[in-house]
A and B are shown apart, each in its own frame.
Chain A
Amino acid sequence: MPLDTSTTYPLTRLRLDGRRWNELRLLQAQISTNPASSGSSYLSMGNTAIMCSVHGPAEGRRGEASGAAGSAGAIVEVDVNVAGFASVDRKRKAGGSDKQSSRIATTLRSAFQSHLHTYLYPHSTISIHVSVLSADGSLLAAAINACTLALVDAGIPMPGLLTGCTSGMSGSASTPRDPRNDELDPLLDLSLPEEQELPFLTVGTTTSVPVGENSMENDEEEETKVAVLNMDSKLHCTYIETMLAVGMDGCHQIRELLEGVIKGSSRR
């Protein structure tokens, strides 16, 4: 067995994969990977790799469009598929949606349903397909980022890039924070072994105004909104604030990376 974070991190301030506390994993992304779809992307954060394709906005299927919700704007459909070969143990039952993937799908749907300017496309459906090729932690965050890229590629209007990131807390985070000791050890962008060991949350933020060339002047006033916040682990409430701050900082870094990807691809 390799070492674990809780013993070695306090000694060396290095994480299991050699990162410091505030470093992201290597993030690489491409858009327009699948010309057959309206928009598509491929994104990898460390060993987590996700492919995403967007179809639509298109006319909704029969019966659905007549619903009350459909008349107000487009409906976002999300389908998440974790490949059988994505994790260490190969899953026998591929294709079927398990609890993890349906939870990610629900979170993504509600996030993008409210994030996108859906009112522009009444009576239509935007369907997003997320395929997880390889899972190594921060799955939800990576999926958010991949979806954002694919949606941008599809040309669906949104107020700003929605980016996601995880942050965790090392140390004994289940007991209340010691008020006399201010030292906390938050970690950014967790990998799978870290997720299994430490409590963590996923945060997704967006900016209200596109951070394009046009908005260069009021960059300072750029307003960040938390659009997604998801936590499955148990943690004492005194730590949340720090973790949230670290996670939002991570989202900001990722936003800059994604912008680079988008700009780079248009130049080509």
Chain B
Amino acid sequence: MKSLRRDLSSDPQASNVTSKVFVRSTKSGKVQKIVRELYLRQDIPCSSKLCSLCPSIAPSDANGNVAPFVLSDRPAGTKAFPRGHYLVPDTNALLNGMDLFEHTGAFYDVIILQTVLEELRNQSLPLYNRLLSLIKTDEKRFYLFFNEFRLETHVRRGPDESINDRNDRAVRAVASWYEEHLQVSAKKGKKEKSVPAIVVITDDKGSIRKAKAENVTALSLSDYVSGLEDSDKLLDMIGEAREARDTKGPAGQLFYPEYMSMSKLMTGLRAGNLHQGVYNVSPYNYLEASVKVPAFNKPLLILGRDNSNRAISGDVVVIEVLPQDQWKSPSTKIVDEEAVTRNDNPDSEDTEAVVSQNERKALQEEVKRAHGNSSEGKPQPTAKVVGMIKRGWRQYVGNVDSNSTGSQAASGRRQQTVFVLPMDKKVPKIRLRTRQAGDLLGQRILVTIDSWERDSRYPSGHFIRSLGELETKGAETEALLLEYDVQYKPFPKSVLDCLPAEGHDWKVPASKEDKGWNGRRDLRDLLICSIDPPGCQDIDDALHARSLPNGNFEVGVHIADVSHFVKPNNPMDLEASVRGSTVYLVDKRIDMLPHLLGTDLCSLKPYVERYAFSVIWEVTPNAEIVSSDFTKSVIRSREAFSYEQAQLRIDDPSQKDELTESMRHLLHFSKILRQRRYDAGALNLASPEVRIEASDEVGDPLTDVKTKAMLATNSLVEEFMLLANITVASKIFNSFSQTALLRRHATPPPQNFEDLINQLSKKRGMELDVSSSGALASSLDRCVDPKNPFFNTLVRILATRCMTSAEYFCAGAHAEPEFRHYGLASPIYTHFTSPIRRYADLLVHRQLASAIGYEGEDGHAVIEGVHTRGKLEDICRNINYRHRNAQFAGRASIEYYVGQALKARGEKMAAGGTDTGIDEEGYVMRVFENGVVVFVPRFGIEGVVRLEDFVLPGESGSFSVSERRELAVHRTTHFNPEEYTLRVEEKGHPEKERGVDVELFQRVKVNVSSVKEEGRGAGKRRVRILITG
């Protein structure tokens, strides 16, 4: 019998094979021992442009390409390293200082080790992804060195060595190898003078000590940064390091309960004792949050700091339901963080309790009330956070709380701790250590949260960068874009390279023999026109109608053929899929596609030939659809109208030309279609939107604020777009039953409407039938108050908020009955008509092209529409998220503009004497125990009216903000949650005529002005609403 043992001695190669053994535990708690081979080699280049040895051994990939060398031959240096240096950070340095490494001012020529990358991935996936994208960019010159595979730098773990020690040793081994390697190669290349230093960056003191012994240069992150220019700014960007915590020691008292261990959470979740969901803070009360879990049909409430246990809005948490005697009804009180915790001191940690006195008082009242009328007020289940699955932390925009800076703030570079108030009200204050507190005051800054320890009342974070001064247009716009995660950086060169080389001179090929005409129908002789908002540059759609000899009509919708220019999987396509949507701000548009395409080559501009994707129907005079047809085409739009222009032209009886006639036909059909849609149960919803028409005149900026007017031509375009979308949706679903990209609007669960139904029946005796969309539509039509024309719109706004939002999905993800679009009462729907500004439409274009067998210029178009379901679901998730954020950003931008307009007006008035604000009408949307929410239709804003902002009879309304704040203390309220009424009066003056009564849906006179808000909203210009009667 021969021995079967591997005989490594005989094979010369075999000496270079080693194996890596590690142990991992699976989700089910099993422990696995993994053995992997490692092939050690000597052809992994150092990638330094200085090196004369490596280029000869650098291997090529399957296509014969050799990776270019990354590290510069003239790296930047500091005073300590005059000949320049290459940096070798270890894992801790990256964990604490990723923002530094991303900084454009420093940290070039960095060698990232495989060991470090792997360890980072285990510690933090987001940081790992950021590091990967850093490695991929060329500018920063980050080189990923696979040290574990290089014979010289491979390190075997010693018998008593911890894995951390081994990894640190690996880092040092690489540093010394690099040093030696560069020396040798420089000697050969006769460039000895310019050999850069290799600097290990580590925050581990033990490692620094050992490095000294091994003759390797090692510095801690802060020591290294101190040697750079701008060190103050950069030092602030180091994460709230563990180091700092260590110095403090375990003296601090623990405020929060510990999270359960992962395995305990998993067992609990499986057993159903615990629930998992997204932590969602109430916009009116920062101490109240809700988590929606599948096991309950209403969201679970989480009240107070103790129960929320360090969760921040957006985190995925595990919660435990509290016993029934602790159930409460949702708060009826407005609680603002800065109002309650105004005086917290960022430095003193020891004196404060988790729940400060003030907070406790606020909560106490809650409980009392909840228990007092628990007989009728239905208490809801409450819960507490016991575990954290995933932190939803991102970068937050905020400003430094001026109250928290020390008295000597402006002076000196002393490090101090300040609070940052994030713009997002749902996020708690962030504790920040900074050396430049004075400079940061009055600035919009970007910060990130590093940790939230059990012994700290607030999360601690670090400064990333400043966006500029508060209330400057640039800073506020950028803040808004960051806050809603809008990609606003200019398009990189790789994207611009995908544009047609002809640029603006690109034309539809004249000769029909050209391959651009393959499979395209010539529709240039049709009388096509487009109707859009005034000043629209990215014209997605155009229309035509003409009568056919058989008495029927041909109606066509022509959509910009973006998919012709944006080919799948090229950099432009990838960029567009990340952006997902064009974002419209009041004074700025963040494009999804480069300018050249969006506003010129794709845009269906008048008088020029353009590629289009056309949907053409044959309809009877009664707008019954006989047939539909899809084709790629070439069109020439005759005119680009604005809604008003089109309306005027249709209404003008003297216009008898063909174009006008065809628009009249379209209008006629659209009215029939619209009626048919409503008959089928489509909802007419309302959103509180206003439009800003920016005019250059130096007049009253408020005149620019317009509520959206609805002309007949608006709905003309809308109806045909809906029709096109529906027609296309069923076509692509027929061809791709699993992967068609569709849009659905789920039927909202009836309990969403409970509150609204209750309020309507109590206050107005009206009924809302939510059994189907049709029933809801007709019952909404009946909710009319003859004395109050706006009431109906108000109810529609409130009803809209009860619904779920529409979403993109791929057909395989839901059963066919679930495809329904509730709001449009259509069994199937998608987005096809705006490919310039929405990525979903672009995908649908590709799918439709492949469904109709369009081959394209090179015959590849057929396969372009084909996607796997998994990939499509990823895209859906992203575009849903982007779509929502784009809407939020647009609204926030309008809100900011209105605030600024009011401010400008206020300043003008103040110059002329007094700032009196504007008297407007408002409507009460919600009643709380200590205030109401009022909606002002004129500006499309809603605002919280607190106690002090009620102007009681016999009191003048011109108190300043600070004076008014004093008033709140003297006021008392009578709140009736059953009747939704609130009575505000002066303490000790219960006389009827001295108080103010407000109730839900009531029309109130309000005075709108813009006041400089302190604290959190600083710069946002809270719009103050005073109820004057």
A142 smallest CB distance to B (angstroms): 14
| Contact status of A14 and B149, CB under 8 A, knowing A1-B121, A176-B866 | yes
| Contact indicator per residue, chain A 76-88, by CB within 8 Å of chain B (1) or not (0) | 0000000000001
| List of B residues within 8 angstroms of A22 by Cβ | 62
Contact A44 B6 (CB under 8 A): yes
Give A89 to B67 CA distance when docked, in angstroms: 39
The complex places the Cα of A22 from the Cα of B60 at a distance, in Å, of 11
CA distance A34 to B114 in the complex (A): 43
Which residues does chain A contribute within 8 Å of B67, judged by CB atoms? Answer: 12-13
Question: A42 and B4 in contact (CB under 8 A), knowing A3-B121, A17-B38, A178-B569?
Answer: yes
Q: Is the CB of A183 within 8 A of B866?
A: no
A193/B121 in contact, CB under 8 A: no
A30 to B33, CA, bound (A): 28
A175 with B11: in contact, given A14-B44, A185-B62 (CB under 8 Å)?
no
> Which residues on the A side are within 8 Å of B122 (C-beta)?
1
Contacts of B871 in A (CB 8 A): 172, 174-175
**CA A175 to CA B118, docked complex, whole Å:** 29
CB distance B118 to A17 under 8 Å? Answer: no
Taking a contact as CB atoms under 8 Å apart, the answer to whether B36 and A17 are in contact is: yes
- Asked if A35 is at the interface of the complex by the 8 Å CB criterion, the answer is yes
Given known A14-B146, A16-B36, A184-B62, contact A3–B114 (CB-CB < 8 A): yes
User: Is the CB–CB distance between B136 and A88 below 8 Å?
Assistant: no
Taking the complex as formed, is B501 at the interface, i.e. its CB lies under 8 A from any CB of chain A?
no
Residue of A nearest to B22 (CB): A2
| Interchain CB contact (< 8 A) of A12 among B22, B65, B146 | B146
Are A19 and B39 in contact, CB atoms less than 8 angstroms apart? yes
The docked-state distance in angstroms from the alpha carbon of A21 to that of B64 is: 11
A250 interfacial contact with B, CB 8 Å? no
Q: Is B148 an interface residue (CB 8 A)?
A: yes
CA A32 – CA B1 in complex, angstroms?
Answer: 9
Chain B: minimal CB distance from A53 (Å): 13
Question: B569 touching A175 by the CB < 8 A rule?
Answer: yes
Q: How far is B863's CA from A186's CA once the two chains are assembled, in angstroms?
A: 22
In the complex, B510 has a CB within 8 A of chain A: no
Contact status A179-B149, CB under 8 Å: no
| Least CB distance, A163 to chain B, in whole angstroms | 19
Q: Does A184 contact B63, Cβ atoms closer than 8 Å? A: yes
- Cβ contact within 8 Å between B136 and A11: yes
Chain A residues positioned under 8 Å from B62 (CB to CB)? 21-22, 184-186, 246
Check B17–A33 contact: CB distance below 8 A: no
Q: Does A20 contact B (CB under 8 A)?
A: yes
Given B36, B44, B863, which contacts A176 in the complex, CB threshold below 8 Å?
B863
Q: Which of the listed residues A12, A22, A30, A32 has the most CB atoms from chain B within 10 Å of its own CB?
A: A12
Q: Nearest Cβ in chain A — how far from B494, in angstroms?
A: 13
A110 to chain B, nearest CB (A): 29
Contact digits for A42-84, partner B, Cβ 8 Å, 1 yes 0 no: 1010110001000000000000000000000000000000000
B residues less than 8 Å from A183 (CB atoms)? 63, 65
A191 within 8 A of B: yes
Identify the closest chain B residue to A44 (Cβ).
Answer: B6
- Check if B977 is an interface residue, CB within 8 A of chain A: no
* A28 x B59 contact (CB < 8 A): no
* Chain A contacts with B in 150-203, Cβ cutoff 8 A: 172, 174-176, 178-180, 182-186, 191, 193
Bound form: Cα–Cα A8–B868 in Å: 23
CA distance A23 to B59 in the complex (A): 12
Residues of A within 8 A of B569 (CB): 172, 175, 178
Known contacts: A7-B132, A13-B67. The answer to whether A23 contacts B37 by CB under 8 A is no
- The reply to whether A88 and B868 contact each other, CB–CB distance below 8 Å, is no
Are B36 and A89 touching (Cβ within 8 A)? Answer: no
Per the bound structure, the CA–CA distance linking A120 and B153 in Å amounts to 57
Q: Could you tell me the distance in whole angstroms from the C-beta of A138 to the nearest C-beta in chain B?
A: 12
Q: Is the CB of A88 within 8 A of B4?
A: no
Per the bound structure, the CA–CA distance linking A3 and B129 in Å amounts to 12
Complex CA distance for A8 and B913, rounded to whole angstroms: 68
Asked if residues B121 and A88 are in contact (CB atoms below 8 Å), the reply is: no
Distance, CA A33 to CA B278, complexed state (A): 61
Is B32 within 8 A of A179, CB to CB?
no
Contact with A along B82-125 (1 / 0, CB 8 A): 00000000000000000000000000000000100110011000
Across the interface, do B114 and A20 meet the contact criterion of CB distance under 8 Å? no
The answer to the question of B34 belonging to the interface, with a C-beta cut-off of 8 Å to chain A, is yes
| B884 within 8 A of partner (CB) | no
Alpha-carbon distance A186/B61, docked complex (angstroms): 9
- Whether, in the assembled complex, B755 has its beta carbon less than 8 Å from a beta carbon of chain A, the answer is no
Contact A13 B59 (CB under 8 A): yes
> How many angstroms from the CA of A183 to the CA of B14 in the assembled complex?
32
Bound-state CA distance A159–B33 (Å) is 43
Interface pair A30/B4, CB less than 8 Å apart? yes
A20-B59, A179-B858, A185-B61 known; A46-B37 Cβ under 8 A:
yes
Write out the residue numbers on chain A whose beta carbons fall within 8 Å of the beta carbon of B6.
28, 44
B61-A21 in contact (CB<8A): yes
Residues from chain A with Cβ under 8 Å of B270 in the complex: none
Q: Binary interface profile of A, 205-248, with partner B (CB < 8 Å = 1, else 0)?
A: 00000000000000000000000000000000000000000100
B374 to chain A, nearest CB (A): 50
Q: Which of B1, B44, B867 contacts A35 (CB 8 A)?
A: B1
Hey, which chain A residues are within 8 Å of B24, CB to CB? 1
User: Residues of B contacting A246 with CB < 8 Å?
Assistant: 62
Q: Is the pair B7, A28 in contact by a Cβ cutoff of 8 Å? A: yes
Contact B63 A11 (CB under 8 A): no
Residues in A with CB closer than 8 Å to B13 are 26
Interchain CA distance A28-B13 in the complex, whole Å: 11
CA distance A172 to B2 in the complex (A): 46
Q: Which residue on B lies nearest to A176, using beta carbons?
A: B863
In the complex, which residue of chain A has the Cβ closest to the Cβ of B19?
A47
Give the distance in Å from the alpha carbon of A142 to the alpha carbon of B860 in the complex.
39
Residue of A nearest to B117 (CB): A3
Does B723 reach chain A (CB closer than 8 Å)?
Answer: no
A11 and B135 within 8 A (CB): yes
* Contact across chains for A47 and B37 when beta carbons are under 8 A apart: yes
Q: Using Cβ atoms and an 8 Å threshold, which residues of chain A touch B146?
A: 8, 12, 14, 18
Given the known interface contacts A13-B67, A18-B148, A51-B4, the answer about A28 and B37 at a Cβ–Cβ threshold of 8 Å is no
A25 within 8 Å of B by Cβ? yes
Query: Looking across the interface, which residue of chain B has its beta carbon closest to that of A16?
Result: B36
The distance from the CB of B153 to the nearest CB of chain A, in whole angstroms, is 12
Write the B640-665 contact mask toward A (1 if CB under 8 angstroms, else 0).
Answer: 00000000000000000000000000
Q: Which residues of B contact A44 (CB under 8 A)?
A: 6
**Complex-state Cα separation, A49 to B375, whole angstroms:** 73
Q: Which residue from B14, B40, B136 sits with its C-beta under 8 Å from A18? A: B40
Complex: A77 Cα to B391 Cα, angstroms: 57
Report chain B residues within 8 Å CB of A175. 568-569, 866-868, 871
- Give chain B nearest CB distance to A133 CB in angstroms: 9
- Is B79 among interface residues, defined by CB-CB distance under 8 A? no
Check: B974 CB closer than 8 A to any chain A CB: no
Residues of B within 8 A of A (CB): 1-2, 4, 6-7, 11, 13-14, 17, 19, 22, 24, 30, 32-41, 44, 59, 61-63, 65, 67, 114, 117-118, 121-122, 132, 135-136, 144, 146, 148-149, 567-569, 858, 860, 863, 866-868, 871
Query: Can you sample 17 A-B contacts with CB below 8 Å?
Result: A1-B122, A3-B118, A8-B114, A8-B144, A17-B37, A23-B39, A26-B39, A28-B14, A30-B4, A33-B2, A34-B1, A47-B37, A88-B33, A175-B568, A175-B867, A183-B65, A246-B62
- 10 closest pairs, A vs B, by CB? A18-B149, A18-B39, A176-B863, A13-B61, A17-B37, A88-B32, A183-B63, A174-B868, A21-B62, A14-B146
